[in-house]
Amino acid sequence: MIKAVIIDDEISSRETLNIMLEMYAPDIKIIAEADGVRSGINIINELNPELVFLDIHMGDGSGFDLLNNFQSNNFRVIFVTAYEEYAIKAFKFSALDYLVKPVTPDDLVLAVKKMELAQDKEIWQEQLQVLESNYATANQSFGKIILKTADAIHIVEISDIIYCKSENNYTYIYLMGENKLVVSRTLKEFDELLGDVSFLRVHQSYLINSNQIDYFDKKEGGAVVMKNGNKIPVSFRKKEQLLQLIQKLGRQL
């Protein structure tokens, strides 16, 4: 049995989550509930739960305010949030799991299964810092992204990404300083994540950072040259959009 608490200022959300846990995750035992940051801190200190279901927005503060009261927490966290596009993106950029209200059984079961896997506390704290930083920007551009490779988790400045290249179900992330990361995610996923933060899909296999463009080379049908000197092919249907972007940026044609 995993001892858990629910911290959410909406009583209906707490009641619904409690019922769903009884039905779909019987190994989770809710030992207490709280309706805000202060009361949440109190029950965590008093009861030492192993798992906390934590709302992001509450009347007396945020879930981050609560977590910042614990320098080294001994509990795992499953975030619960209302659907807000920028908030969902913030979670995706940080590679942290979350539940969106109204919570569905499938999402709940999946979140619990992931939680049961061992969490590296140091890495989780780094992911949390990225989440809090990006979340605070609201609808503005995010600054960092968490990238998981086969042997490590990397915190990457988005401005340091020059371009992404697709290789089957893997994506090669080319960074400033001639560094390269190989991530087990498709280019489509990165296009969905980064398309709103100055990245452009110029080819079926390439997603580029527009801030890393050097100039457009018209030879041999055209290619975009990045600041690291690499030439990226441009598909015919993306050429006009790219040229307009380069002119807007004041780059060389």
| pLDDT tens for each residue of 22-71 | 999 999 999 999 999 999 999 999 999 999 999 988 999 989 899 989 87
Of 72 and 226, more confident: 226
CATH of residue 242's domain is: 2.40.50.1020
Neighbour tally for 225: CB within 10 Å: 16
Domain that holds residue 88: 2-136
Q: What is residue 74's predicted lDDT score, i.e. its pLDDT?
A: 80
Alpha carbon of residue 102 to chain centroid: 20
Percent of the chain with pLDDT strictly greater than 70: 92
Q: What is residue 242's predicted lDDT score, i.e. its pLDDT?
A: 84
Chosen domain end from 86, 104, 136? 136
Say if 57 falls within a structural domain. Answer: yes
Alpha carbon of residue 230 to chain centroid: 28
One domain, residues 11 and 108: yes
Q: Tens of pLDDT along 75-118?
A: 889 999 886 777 788 888 887 888 999 999 999 999 888 887 75
One domain, residues 7 and 131: yes
Of 135 and 250, more confident: 135
One domain, residues 169 and 202: yes
pTM of the shown model: 0.76
Number of domains in the chain: 2
